[in-house]
Amino acid sequence: MDVLVQGVLDAVRLLASGDEDTWSITALTLRISLTATAIALLLGVPAGAGLALGRFRGRRIMLAAANTGMGLPPVVVGLFVTVLLWRSGPLGELGLLYTPTAMVIAQAGIATPVVAALTAAALQQVDPDFVVQMRALGATRPRALAALLAEARLPLLAAGMAGFGAVVSEVGAAQMVGGNIEGQTRVLTTAAVLATSRGEFSLAIAFGILLLAIAFAVNLAVTIVQQRQTVRR
């Protein structure tokens, strides 16, 4: 227990001292995870909308695949992206392995099914006659779809939060495709793993606290927006 208390105290001291390395790791974590979430939203929302509203063969199988994808092990995604980007792999020429870009790709791969599945669920919760009613009021198809997305904005925000939560906290893919290179691809999760393995518990706890703080801050911001909408309706 003493180790833990001492670790937390040291961690707080470390964070208060404003260690430059720690802050650059934090900034990189935010940059990679937010970019990956943004890409996941760009891909996942239209995909989820297609799954929710489309009438095509294989829709249910794809929906089931997206739902399975919510529980996709990051290590599997990391492995897949590593093989793709490996020097002799299909995309090896791009030289992206062990760069932040590779980490963004892997994390977008983790978050996209999450966003797509939750988007599909969110849109399916809206009244099935919603789009027809909007069309019957004179809306063009794109306008009717925009109205549908606006109607489902609260669960869509939740989908975004879930996507961000999935990537900011994962370590498997970040480690595999990023390589945890100091000053280049080290993020909070991989840094925490390294510190723990070296027995530097205070440092690891400090990274853990930062990670929690980031997740909390981002979710708090979105929740405030979401709840303001709920009150207003």
Partner 1 sequence: MTAVSIGCRDLVVSTGDRVLLDVASLEVSAGTTLAVLGPNGAGKSTLLRALAHLGGMSRTGDVLLDGQPATASQLRAASAAVFQRPVLQRASALDNAAAGLRLRGTARREARRRARPWLRALGVGHLADQPARTLSGGEAQRVAIARALAVEPRVLLLDEPFTGLDATSRADLIADLRTVLHRLGAAVLLVTHDREEARALADRTALLVAGRLRQVGGTAHVLDAPADADCASLLGYTTRLAPDLTGCGELLVARPERCQLLDPAASLPPNTIAVGGTVRRTVPLGGTTRVDVDTAAEPVAVLTTAEVTALPGQAVRVAVDLEHVRRIPAAVLSSSGAPPSRNAAADPMD
Residues found near partner 1 in the complex (CB under 8 A): 55, 127, 129-130, 132-140, 143-144, 147, 150-151, 232-233
Q: Smallest gap, in angstroms, from Cβ of residue 226 to partner 1?
A: 12
- From the CB of 152, what's the least distance to partner 1, in Å? 9
Do the Cβ atoms of 159 and 114 come closer than 8 Å? Answer: yes
Q: Which is nearer to partner 1, 84 or 144 (CB)?
A: 144
44/155 with CB nearer partner 1: 155
> Which residue number, 16 or 150, has a Cβ lying nearer to partner 1?
150
Q: How far apart are CA 122 and CA 113, in angstroms?
A: 14
Q: Minimum distance between the CB of residue 18 and partner 1, rounded to whole angstroms?
A: 44
Report how far residue 6's alpha carbon sits from residue 201's, in angstroms, rounded to the nearest whole number.
9
Which of 191, 31, 42, 209 lies closest to 103 in space, CA to CA?
Answer: 31
199/119 Cα distance (integer angstroms): 42
In this complex, which beta carbon is closest to partner 1, that of residue 25 or of residue 148? 148
Nearest distance in Å: CB 124, partner 1 = 15
From CA 19, how far away is CA 11, in angstroms rounded?
A: 11
